[in-house]
Amino acid sequence: MSIQEGCIHTTDDGNAYMEIMLGKTERAEPAPHKVFVNQLVCDAVRELSDYTKPLREESGLKELFLTRALRFHNHVVVYKTDLFATYKIAPFIKRWNICGSDGEVYPLKSHQFRATYVRELIKRKLPISYIMKQFGHVSIEMTAHYLTLQENEVKEIYAEIILSPNAKLAGLRASEIQNNLQAYFRGRAETDIDLVISELASAASFNPLPNGICLYDFRRGNCTSGDGCFFYNCPNYITEISFYPVLKKELELMEREMERFRSLGRERDWQRQYVKYQYLKPLVENLEVQIDD
């Protein structure tokens, strides 16, 4: 509901993109975000802009999702997301008798469009790191929130990123794994690559984690502490260069938080973050040196 007048722009080479505000991406205030859009989106935004122009001129508001609120003396206000679903989407579904598989009127919510969009991109084999960037997600879980995938499908997504022959890895066992992968793929035909990755995903024992995987250690188990499995307590955590942008952002957020803890004299909180920082910084630095390789 936050898009505003003039939110569609064009790059120097003629590609349209939209500027929006995302509020669920980081541990901070909502941040501006740019996404490429097609002609259908441009036309829809233009039509909405024309339709609400009188309301914007009357109210001085820049938002495009505007309405008159009876309880506010018929003043022009910006739609709230939950109210838009109630007063706009639900009546539209009912008017056109759009039903689900059970024959009942389908309870569509606006958030489902994001979920459908992400699932379709995954089905078309678009790299999940690209989807994360477009949605402004800091971790892969934020993208996975929109998915209804089976465990084997999730493993295949990670395997496609990390177990591919051209993967650029970082982690304690990154070099060993890269050497093994290169040997495994040597002599394989290009057409066999997807099948080989799928076989590796089925055979490998690993847990998908935020921006990487934790390879199972049969001697020590998965992770060294009882608070879950993360990059800082998995002895065999591996990540790939496609996750570099979000790992870099996570590092920057962590550094800012450590500075805040230090300025507030919260030494214990600083120490907790520093433990994680010692693991994350080498991962980011290792990926940085591979960017231009």
pLDDT digits (tens, 9 = 90+) for 216-275: 654 445 565 445 567 777 777 888 888 888 788 889 989 999 999 999 999 999 999 999
pTM score, whole prediction: 0.49
SS3 sequence of 65-97: CEEEEHHHCCEEEECCHHHHHHHHHHHHHHHCC
Under a CB-based contact definition with an 8 Å cutoff, are residues 235 and 215 in contact?
A: no
Residues 6+ apart with CB under 8 A from 185: 165, 193, 196
CA gap 247, 232 in Å, rounded:
13
Helices and strands: H and E segment counts in the chain = 11, 9
Cα 179 from Cα 165, distance rounded (Å) = 10
Q: Which pLDDT score, from 0 to 100, does residue 201 have?
A: 64
- Of the candidates 184, 206, 204, 198, the one whose C-alpha atom is nearest the C-alpha of residue 156 is 198
The answer to whether the beta carbons of residues 254 and 233 sit under 8 Å apart is: no
Could you give the CA distance from residue 50 to residue 204 in angstroms, rounded to a whole number?
A: 55
DSSP-derived letter for residue 138 is S
> In the prediction, which pLDDT does 58 show?
93
Tokens, residue 85:
């679903």
Q: Give the pLDDT of residue 134.
A: 61
Which distant-in-sequence residues (6+ apart) come within 8 Å of 180 by Cβ?
A: none
CB 28 within 8 A of CB 48: no
Regions of the chain where pLDDT drops below 70 = 1, 22-31, 33, 111, 114-116, 118-155, 157, 190-191, 196, 198, 200-204, 210, 216-229, 293
In the prediction, which pLDDT does 26 show? 47
CA separation for the pair 132, 221 (Å, rounded)? 30
For position 25, what pLDDT does the model report? 47
